[in-house]
Amino acid sequence: MLTGSTRPRSRGTGPAQAQTRTRRRAASPPSVLVRAGLLLALSACAHGPRTKTLRTPEHITYSVSGDLDRWDVELCFGDARPAALVGSESAAERLLHPRDAASGLPLELTGGDAPRIDLDNLTGPCLTYGVDLSGAGDGWRQDLRRIGDDLLVDNELWLWHPPKVASTPRITVDFSFPGARVSSPWPREGDARFVIPLVGLRWRSYTAVGELEIDTLEVAGAELEVVVMGGERELSKGGIRRWMKSTGEAVASLYGAFPVPHLQVLIIPTQGYGSPVIFGLVERGGPAILLLIDRDAEDDEFIGEWVSIHELLHLGMPFIQRRDAWLPEGFVTYYTEVVRARTGLRSEESAWRALLSGFDRGARDVRGDRSLGDASRSMHDLHAYSWVYWGGAAIALLSDVALRQGSDGSIALDDGLRHLWRCCATSPRRWTADDILEELDRWRGQAWIIPLSRRLLATDGFDDLPRLYRKLGVYMVHGELTLDGTAALTHLRSAIFAPTSTASHQ
Ligand SMILES: [Zn+2]
């Protein structure tokens, strides 16, 4: 049985705080450099075998066992042995007794804020180390959480790895926790073995251990490993399946397919705040989405809710740097409303009400003389989430209409996002908004979204909307929405929300 201590938690989260935190692992600049392989010191090996000169392993196996307070890791190299392993500062704080498995002699932890375990004295193919996981709180922490009798661990805490590995490595992990179940975000090979992709060494992901409820679903051609932690809630297993199916199909309606072939879905029931899903985030090291749900919410409340759709839509987009949040958050915010209407989860009218209300909230969030571009660069400092998300959504709507109008309805922003998904979403690089806009203009074959975005980013972002509403025939008077079927661009408005997009599916 797993054992461990529980601490009281306190963290208020509300629907307004539901936001995406797609990001790389927190890493200080030096450790980023180490991860990039720029600081790999090839010091002479005084005691180890000299026959292996290749330092970028292709085969690495991790074996992990233990309990909720401590994990014991054995790491073996099937071929080349690296000069060192790298990890985060958090991993270094929790590291216990790194040793050569053959001799039992200690291995040295060096590097300060760019921690590394020196392997020059490794005499065999394996080393061992412990990971101190005591003190896991049941409040919200990024790297370690207790949820009832279960544990959620940021893989960064135990996944020490070479600075460089082969481009197509074979990296596996076997977990052995008697009496407990395990879910990692990577493809399974059997009950407790997972195959770690390269992105698993680069981006954040979680492993869950405990009395987990694990269900494997196929949704829109993808495999979802759905894990419920902590247990107690009203949402039934069948309700989860219907929820994930409707969410997945809504997202697939944009990209033409589910955005990733395999997804870990971590569901954590907690105290409610009036919405079925209280908070969501997406991680790319697996990939995975994590959803905090209201434990009192019932099955029907989850069908068509926006948070899971929003998080999954992110996975079809390239990873874009944080200061350019207007683009990923804006486009995803726009399509969160559009795809729910297209797939029948809500009406076009309710989608327009949500869009207009969101644009109003965004406009009310504008600060002084700043521009939308400024707000995006300082979004977290300014807490200008409504402005940036909805300002970006306004650019998405205006871009969509402009593209449809300029192509007599034959091309839509959907096509641009499908192109980005195919070309760039799985790339491990961090993109700028300019990179993405250039890619979209190149795809279109003409300057289209760059001039439109630059013009709007230099303003508060909302000035063009009233004129667009009139062209599309969208009116809100005294809280009453009217959709005018005789407006000049009614046909484009209808096309945006048509059950099957007018865009060319490829
Ligand atoms: Zn988001």
Q: What is the CATH number of the domain that holds 306?
A: 1.10.390.10
Q: Given pLDDT bands bounded at 50, 70 and 90, which one contains residue 500? A: low
- Give the integer Cα–Cα distance in Å for 70 and 200: 22
With a cut of 50, say whether residue 296 has pLDDT above it: yes
User: Is residue 71 located within the same domain as residue 183?
Assistant: yes
User: Is residue 197 located within the same domain as residue 224?
Assistant: no
With a cut of 70, say whether residue 303 has pLDDT above it: yes
Task: Measure 463 CA to ligand 1 centroid, in angstroms.
Answer: 23
Task: Measure 96 CA to ligand 1 centroid, in angstroms.
Answer: 37
Question: What does the pLDDT read at residue 212?
Answer: 94
Print the domain residue range for 104: 15-201
- Give the integer Cα–Cα distance in Å for 335 and 150: 35
User: Is residue 408 located within the same domain as residue 278?
Assistant: no
Task: Measure 57 CA to ligand 1 centroid, in angstroms.
Answer: 36
- Please state the domain count of the chain: 3
Residue with tokens 């909805």: 390
Task: Measure 332 CA to ligand 1 centroid, in angstroms.
Answer: 6
Q: Which residues pair with 216 in a beta bridge?
A: 225
CB 450 within 8 A of CB 441: yes
Stronger pLDDT, 9 or 80, i.e. the higher one: 80
- Give the integer Cα–Cα distance in Å for 361 and 390: 8
Task: Measure 305 CA to ligand 1 centroid, in angstroms.
Answer: 14
Q: Does any domain span residue 103?
A: yes
Q: Given pLDDT bands bounded at 50, 70 and 90, which one contains residue 139? A: low
Stronger pLDDT, 28 or 293, i.e. the higher one: 293
User: Is residue 355 located within the same domain as residue 497?
Assistant: yes
CB count in 10 Å sphere of residue 193: 17
With a cut of 70, say whether residue 175 has pLDDT above it: yes
User: Is residue 293 located within the same domain as residue 353?
Assistant: no
Low-confidence winner among 42-56, 175-189, 291-305 (lowest mean pLDDT): 42-56
Residue where a domain stops, chosen among 201, 233, 258:
201
User: Is residue 342 located within the same domain as residue 491?
Assistant: yes
- Stretch 284-302: mean pLDDT: 95
Q: Does any domain span residue 8?
A: no
Task: Measure 21 CA to ligand 1 centroid, in angstroms.
Answer: 7
CATH code of the domain in which 19 resides: 2.60.40
With a cut of 70, say whether residue 445 has pLDDT above it: yes
- pLDDT tens-digit profile of 323-363? 999 999 999 999 999 999 999 999 999 999 999 999 999 99
User: Is residue 289 located within the same domain as residue 322?
Assistant: no
Task: Measure 428 CA to ligand 1 centroid, in angstroms.
Answer: 19
Task: Measure 20 CA to ligand 1 centroid, in angstroms.
Answer: 4
CB count in 10 Å sphere of residue 1: 10
Q: Does any domain span residue 345?
A: yes
Residue where a domain stops, chosen among 201, 231, 258:
201
With a cut of 70, say whether residue 263 has pLDDT above it: yes
- The rounded radius of gyration (Å) of the Cα atoms in the chain is 24
With a cut of 60, say whether residue 311 has pLDDT above it: yes
Q: Given pLDDT bands bounded at 50, 70 and 90, which one contains residue 58? A: confident
Question: What does the pLDDT read at residue 21?
Answer: 39
Stronger pLDDT, 10 or 71, i.e. the higher one: 71
Task: Measure 9 CA to ligand 1 centroid, in angstroms.
Answer: 25
User: Is residue 446 located within the same domain as residue 330?
Assistant: yes
User: Is residue 347 located within the same domain as residue 480?
Assistant: yes
Question: What does the pLDDT read at residue 506?
Answer: 38
Q: Given pLDDT bands bounded at 50, 70 and 90, which one contains residue 141? A: low
Q: Which residues lie near ion ligand 1 (Cβ < 5 Å)?
A: 20, 329
- Stretch 437-461: mean pLDDT: 96
CB 305 within 8 A of CB 277: yes
Mean pLDDT of the chain: 87
Low-confidence winner among 21-30, 293-302, 303-312 (lowest mean pLDDT): 21-30
Task: Measure 478 CA to ligand 1 centroid, in angstroms.
Answer: 30
Q: Can you tell me whether residue 310 is helix, strand or coil?
A: helix
User: Is residue 370 located within the same domain as residue 490?
Assistant: yes
Q: Does any domain span residue 245?
A: yes
User: Is residue 418 located within the same domain as residue 275?
Assistant: no
Q: Given pLDDT bands bounded at 50, 70 and 90, which one contains residue 81? A: confident
Residue where a domain stops, chosen among 173, 201, 229:
201
Residue 458's alpha-carbon distances to 370, 380, 462, in angstroms, are 9, 19, 11
Task: Measure 379 CA to ligand 1 centroid, in angstroms.
Answer: 13
- Give the integer Cα–Cα distance in Å for 173 and 61: 6
Low-confidence winner among 133-137, 174-178, 185-189, 410-414 (lowest mean pLDDT): 133-137
Task: Measure 310 CA to ligand 1 centroid, in angstroms.
Answer: 6
